[in-house]
Amino acid sequence: MNKLRTLFHPIFVFIGVQIAWIGLMVIWVYWYFENNLKLEEFAEKLRPELFNNEFTWVILLEGSFLMLIILAGVYVIFVYWNKQARLNRLQSNFVSSVSHELKSPLASIQLYLETMKYQQVSTQEARDFVETMLTDTERLSGLIDNILQSSKADPKAMRLQFQPVDIGEFMKEVLTAYKRQFEERKCAVQLDLDGAGVLRVDKRALRMVFNNLIGNALRYSPVGAPLVIQVENVKKYCQIHFIDRGIGIEKKDQKKVFKKFYRAQNIDTQNIEGAGLGLFISREIIKNHKGRLDVESAGRGRGTRFTVSLPR
Amino acid sequence: MAKKKKILVVEDETHLAKGLMFNLEREGYDIVVVDNGVSALETLGGDHFDLVILDLMLPKLGGLEVARQIRAGNIRFPILMLSAKSTDKDRQVGLEAGADDYLTKPFHLPELLLRVKGILRRWEWYKQPALDQERFHFDSMWIDFSTGQALGQGGEFFLTTKEALVMKLLVGKKGEVVSREELLEKVWGYDPGTETRTVDNFVARLRKHFEKKPQKPEHILTVREKGYQFVADTPE
């Protein structure tokens, strides 16, 4: 049964169709040379005025040209169909991973609320639970922002409201919200803001980018791994580096991670939640700031460096 | 004072792990938390535990693989799976990998606590020696309740956890009638997803293993409107 399914795999069907067409074309050309000449001789005896040599070459070329057009047509249909099939697959993966990712913070919130309902908790414990729940709601709202942003028909038409922002102060503000998560993951953050200055950016959009990059660094690093955030000025750009010592990204995945819904599939990532949206959205946002978002990694297990370059 | 039951919580979501620990400790259990599959197996190997609460999405080694490895070493050890994967297929895969129970996130706290209690109670009951020896012989067959191995009509094989529990309950009360309700309560702990028909299906499977003619059972008998009865000796 599996063999049969492999046989009907789109690529095999496509190759089969191509072989069939080329075969037909070869047979047609062969037939043309073999039989048509004989027919021609026969017909020439009856109606010699019907044939002249130049005309037959036109027919051969026309036939070949038509065959080629059909080949090209099949190829185009195949390419688009394949693209669509890939999108459908990604979309269904996305729905399952996003629902999974939404459920985790939700489960945590429900657990703490029910704990407060059913158990006797002290004021201190209650405050701690509320803090935890607030962190979970932040996570939920970040994810929902990502989904909404990515579902916009044309991310290029993103409406950004640029305003002067002190990147150093802004980064500190963003990091405050992560204080608790850094503590829980025993993550030491080294902040190097030497090159930070005032840039014209959309605060809300940039916060999403920073949240995605910091969130990823936490998610894809083991407990206790540090995070370095560095701001420096390079020529006309202000570069913000996010350097983690996490699971890293293989060379082959380094370009693909920015694609919508794409998630690197390997043994390290298979049990880590993610919707495949964060980096896609972040790159779109940075592009709309006329900047760049790049990734560097020495490979699996060797950490990752994301660099946001924004024009000064 | 009775010794505290020890539970290993394998959960990489720190918030959830902390919440589970808080509640289970309040219920009087001794809790150890680990955040990945590899540590889970190491911790289980190094200490005595009564139950493991296992998340499926875990770094390093996934929950399903952890469950399979636990089952490979000890086919009776109680496992409660906790996962955001909620389709029937996910549930089935989890149970097949060796989970005794499967709870989907988000879950209700009282339900979780009840299920933990249920699994531990069944485990306690299963551990009690109901028989003089662990290997129970009848007709020309036998069942080893400590390993779950058995010799049936078709040769040696392994019973699943629930099959072993059903057989143990029936054999432990041999000659008496065991009601479907008692089987459900002891073996399934009244999982809301189970119906009394489930018991009938299990019995049908067990008859295939231990009866010469499953249609005309000689050992696992149906007592109309009451339940089931196990008879060791076949009538001459």
Cβ contact B106–A273 (<8 Å) = no
Closest Cβ–Cβ partner in A109, A223, A270 for B35: A223
Q: A135 to chain B: which residues are within 8 Å by CB?
A: 15
Q: A107 to chain B: which residues are within 8 Å by CB?
A: 13, 16, 84, 105-107
* Chain B residue set in contact with A, beta carbons under 8 Å: 13-16, 18-20, 22-23, 26, 35, 37, 56-60, 62-63, 84-85, 105-110
Model confidence pLDDT, tens digit, residues A183-215: 888 888 888 888 778 888 888 888 889 999 998
**Are the C-beta atoms of B56 and B63 separated by less than 8 Å?**
yes
Q: Which residue has the tokens 């060797």?
A: A302
Q: How far apart are CA B47 and CA B65, in angstroms?
A: 20
Q: B60 to chain A: which residues are within 8 Å by CB?
A: 271
pLDDT > 80? residue B156: yes
CATH class given for the domain over A94-155: mainly alpha
CA atoms within 13 A on the CB side of B36: 13
Q: How far apart are CA B122 and CA A247, in angstroms?
A: 41
Question: Which tokens is A167 given?
Answer: 């990147």
Nearest to A278 by CA among A229, A222, A210, A221: A210
A57-71, A266-280, B143-157, B215-229: which is most confident: B215-229
Q: Nearest-CA residue of chain A relative to B106?
A: A107
* Largest Cα–Cα separation, chain B: 64
A116 interfaces chain B, CB cutoff of 8 Å: no
Helix (H) or strand (E) holding A114: helix A53-118
Q: How far is B104 from chain A (nearest CA, A)?
A: 9
Cβ contact A107–B110 (<8 Å) = no
Q: Which residue has the higher pLDDT, B146 or B157?
A: B157
> Could you say which DSSP state residue A252 is in?
G
Q: What is the pLDDT of residue B195?
A: 67
Size (chain A), residues: 312
Going from the first residue of chain A to its last (312 residues), give the mean pLDDT of each consecutive group of 10, the final group possibly shorter: 65 81 83 76 73 66 85 87 85 78 90 94 93 90 82 65 88 87 86 83 88 89 89 88 90 85 75 79 88 89 90 86
Cis peptide before B106 (omega within 30 of 0): yes
Q: How far apart are CA A266 and CA A250, in angstroms?
A: 10
Q: Which residue has the higher pLDDT, B224 or B54?
A: B54
Closest Cβ–Cβ partner in B18, B26, B58 for A271: B58
Q: What is the pLDDT of residue B119?
A: 87
Coil, strand, or helix at residue B137?
strand
Closest Cβ–Cβ partner in A117, A185, A271 for B57: A271
**Are the C-beta atoms of A311 and A290 separated by less than 8 Å?**
yes
Q: How far apart are CA B204 and CA B124, in angstroms?
A: 26
Cβ contact A110–B13 (<8 Å) = no
CB atoms within 10 A of CB B137: 11
The domain locations on chain A are 2-87, 94-155, 158-311
Q: What is the pLDDT of residue B193?
A: 57
Closest Cβ–Cβ partner in A103, A115, A136 for B84: A103
Interface predicted TM-score (ipTM): 0.75
β-bridge pairing A304-311 and B30-34: unpaired
A107 interfaces chain B, CB cutoff of 8 Å: yes
pTM (2 d.p.): 0.69
CATH number of the domain at A158-311, out of 3.30.565.10, 3.90.780.10, 3.20.20.10, 3.30.750.24?
3.30.565.10
Q: Nearest-CA residue of chain A relative to B34?
A: A223
Helix (H) or strand (E) holding B148: none
Model confidence pLDDT, tens digit, residues B67-121: 988 887 776 788 999 988 878 888 888 887 878 888 888 999 999 999 999 888 8
Helix (H) or strand (E) holding A156: none
Q: How far is A192 from chain B (nearest CA, A)?
A: 28
Q: B93 to chain A: which residues are within 8 Å by CB?
A: none
List of residues 6+ apart from A171 with CB closer than 8 A? A191, A193, A196, A210, A229, A231, A240
% of chain A exceeding 90 in pLDDT:
17
Radius of gyration of chain A, Cα coordinates, nearest whole angstrom:
30
Residues 225-284 of A with CB under 8 A from B: 268, 270-273
Q: Nearest-CA residue of chain A relative to B56?
A: A271
Closest Cβ–Cβ partner in A99, A106, A115 for B19: A115
Helix (H) or strand (E) holding B5: none
A301 interfaces chain B, CB cutoff of 8 Å: no
Dihedrals φ, ψ of B150, to 5°?
-150, 155
> Could you say which DSSP state residue A271 is in?
T
Domains of chain B, CATH where assigned: 6-127 (3.40.50.2300), 135-230 (1.10.10.10)
Question: Which tokens is B67 given?
Answer: 């469950």
> Could you say which DSSP state residue A261 is in?
T
Q: What is the pLDDT of residue A56?
A: 67
Q: What is the pLDDT of residue A124?
A: 93
Q: How far is A306 from chain B (nearest CA, A)?
A: 22
Cβ contact A107–B22 (<8 Å) = no
Q: What is the pLDDT of residue B236?
A: 46
Test the B interface: residue of A111, A181, A186 with most B CBs within 10 Å: A111
